[in-house]
Amino acid sequence: MAPSHVLKCCQRVLAWVPVVFIALVVAWSYYAYVVELCACEFVYLVVFHLSFVIFVWSYWKTIFTSPASPSDEFCLSKSDKEQYEREERPESQQDILRRAAKDLPIYTTTASRAIRYCDRCQLIKPDRCHHCSACDLCILKMDHHCPWVNNCVGFSNYKFFLLFLLYSLLYCLFVAATVLQYFIKFWTNDLPDSHAKFHVLFLFFVAAMFFISILSLFSYHCWLVSKNRSTIEAFRAPTFRNGPDKNGFSLGCSKNLKEVFGDEKKYWFLPVFTSLGDGCNFPTRLVIMDPEQLTVSSQNEPAKRYLVSAIYLVFLCFYLYLISSFIWRIK
């Protein structure tokens, strides 16, 4: 067996480590909550199982929904491909790509105004499509490659990813809130020593830690959805014929939500695919921004990011204070 093949096998196995870690934490939280904490609390158990099922369902869909790739119409014909490979001058190669792309629904280009082409997949990239080095595929409306789901988050599973964040947030909040009374009893030395003591206390800290971590990520993605941007587009604005424009795909908050969640609101909070479009063609709002507007916009973006970071830092400091106090109480 070739060393490179062994290395790839090891990489595939290691890529599942974060997913297995999350699965083990979730399984342990189920045991700690259901068996050790509230075996007799019927209402808690009903709400817990509802949140647990919808959370696991969303997580499963995010992991096992295959990322969508461009259709065959974006691939070069055999003659164009041969001609493209023979040409050595970039200008001549771009002429071939322009002819091939003239009937395709493409509005974005590279920063140098060239046709976006993937040499690895040998296809013209649709708008918002990017090549993922981890998946070795061009992914439609790629947002990012997430190690916690061992999958690319893009057009086919972005809704599932958002619901996964939402329901994991609610799951952690519910667990932390219902365990809080036992944590207070421990704090006031009213909690009797038992086998469940460790699980109850550790469950509160794990739930609080994940809640704080996920809150910032979920808030950021809610903001991205309201602006109809991907994570990649938030850091590098797509280039249209009129130049770079971060809001080029924004249609207004209401329509932006429907782009991801669909027209029928009754399906918005279910992990079933309802996103609009085919992932290759997106409605655009081509706006020519004057230099003054562009400057103001670019100045406001860092300020918003700093504000979110400051809020997250406050939550983190409060959590560290709780942990240090907890350790001091044990001593």
Q: Reduce the DSSP state of residue 138 to 3 states and report it.
A: strand
With 0-12 CB in 10 A as exposed, 13-18 as middle and 19+ as buried, what is 171? buried
The residue annotated as part of the active site, out of 129, 146, 152, 280, is: 146
DSSP track, 217-255: HHHHHHHHHHHT--HHHHHSPPEETTEE-TTTT---HHH
d(CA 73, CA 80): 13
Q: What is the Cα Rg of the chain in Å?
A: 24
16's tokens: 């599942």
128's tokens: 């918002």
Residue with tokens 């479009």: 277
* Residue 146 annotated among the catalytic residues of the structure: yes
Q: Reduce the DSSP state of residue 191 to 3 states and report it.
A: coil
d(CA 230, CA 100): 27
Q: Output the CA torsion sign for 177, 181, 183, 187.
A: positive
Q: What are phi and psi of 151, to 5 degrees?
A: -160, 160
d(CA 37, CA 150): 32
311: Cα separation from own chain's centroid: 20
Residues marked as catalytic: 146
